[in-house]
């Protein structure tokens, strides 16, 4: 009934991360004053550390820390500001958490410093389009790399959301990112892909990506990370609710992703979405037993 989920082992500096037995939950920790999705933004290191520890207790398998908002229309911040927000949190949490730490950045300078402080995954929303040298930093550190599909910059990305073959173009552009990573020495075993739900995509495109994840997974043959959490593509379906009130919609999108075979879902509400993932996994298992 449901597509098979391929098994992968992603190599991290501290050891392998097994993907495929169940969908993992990546908790989002935005250390920014202007996060689009947080009702109570985290603006200081102590609050961020407390929230991260709580996410691990709630069942997060991976923590993703970001120091720059990528909401539509944002101008971005300087590298020095991003470093000031992220590094103290990474340094402390690397000593206190048992789960891997990912840092959401496209900057080589930030990635290099974060890896030194204990990050083992770099999550690049640009798929190496903004700073291709980021791939060299990752290759030298032996960290893992998430390549997300994106066009343009957050400020103007919807202007480039024009597709004649949505799945084919997303797959081709992610393959191009994978080629850049490989050329810099990033082993395929360290790469995870993200189709970029909500980024440079109209709502119909984001729903199309969710509905056809197995096609993308087959074309790319890498673990699939999906991040629908509280995204604006759900706004019309949810009667215009603001981002912090979209967790029920997020639960539906996460369920769809799990049933379609996603390896990781990236979410804000960890406690609630862990429950969603666990039930969706039971449905997947039952469907595969019945179909087998």
Tokens of 241: 């609710």
Across-strand partners of 10? Answer: 17
Tokens of 196: 């970029």
Q: Is 91 a catalytic residue?
A: no
Choice among 266, 278, 284, 289 that is catalytic: 266
Tokens of 72: 């539509």
Q: Which of 208, 227, 291, 284 is nearest to 21 (CA)?
A: 284
- Count the helices and strands in the chain (H runs, E runs): 9, 10
Q: What is the rounded distance in angstroms from the CA atom of residue 191 to the CA atom of residue 204?
A: 27
Half-sphere exposure in the Cβ direction for 98 (13 Å, CA)? 6
Three-class SS state of 30: strand
Q: Is 266 a catalytic residue?
A: yes
Choice among 85, 231, 246, 284 that is catalytic: 231
Active site residues: 231, 266
């Amino acid at each position: 009934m449901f597509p098979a989920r391929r098994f992968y082992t992603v190599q991290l500096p501290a050891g392998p991360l097994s993907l495929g037995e169940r969908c993992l939950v990546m908790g989002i920790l935005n250390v920014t004053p202007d996060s689009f999705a947080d009702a109570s933004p985290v603006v200081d290191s102590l609050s961020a550390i407390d929230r991260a520890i709580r996410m691990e207790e709630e069942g997060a398998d991976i923590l993703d820390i970001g120091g720059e908002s990528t909401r539509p229309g944002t101008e971005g911040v300087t590298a020095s500001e991003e470093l000031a927000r992220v590094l103290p949190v990474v340094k402390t949490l690397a000593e206190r958490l048992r789960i891997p730490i990912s840092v959401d950045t496209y900057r080589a300078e930030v990635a290099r410093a974060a890896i030194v402080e204990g990050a083992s995954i770099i999550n690049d929303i640009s798929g190496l389009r903004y700073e291709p040298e980021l791939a060299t930093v990752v290759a030298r550190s032996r960290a893992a790399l998430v390549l997300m599909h994106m066009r343009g910059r957050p400020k103007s990305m919807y202007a480039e959301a024009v597709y004649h073959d949505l799945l084919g173009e997303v797959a081709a552009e992610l393959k191009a990112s994978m080629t850049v990573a490989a050329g810099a020495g990033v082993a395929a075993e360290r790469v995870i892909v993200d189709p970029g739900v909500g980024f440079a995509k109209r709502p119909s495109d984001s729903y199309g990506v969710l509905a056809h994840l197995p096609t993308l997974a087959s074309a790319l043959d890498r673990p699939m990370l999906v991040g629908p959490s509280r995204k604006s593509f759900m706004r019309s379906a949810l009667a215009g609710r603001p981002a912090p009130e979209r967790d029920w919609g997020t639960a539906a999108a996460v369920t769809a992703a799990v049933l379609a075979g996603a390896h990781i879902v990236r979410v804000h509400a960890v406690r609630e979405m862990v429950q969603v993932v666990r039930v969706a996994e039971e449905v997947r298992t039952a469907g595969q037993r019945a179909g087998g």
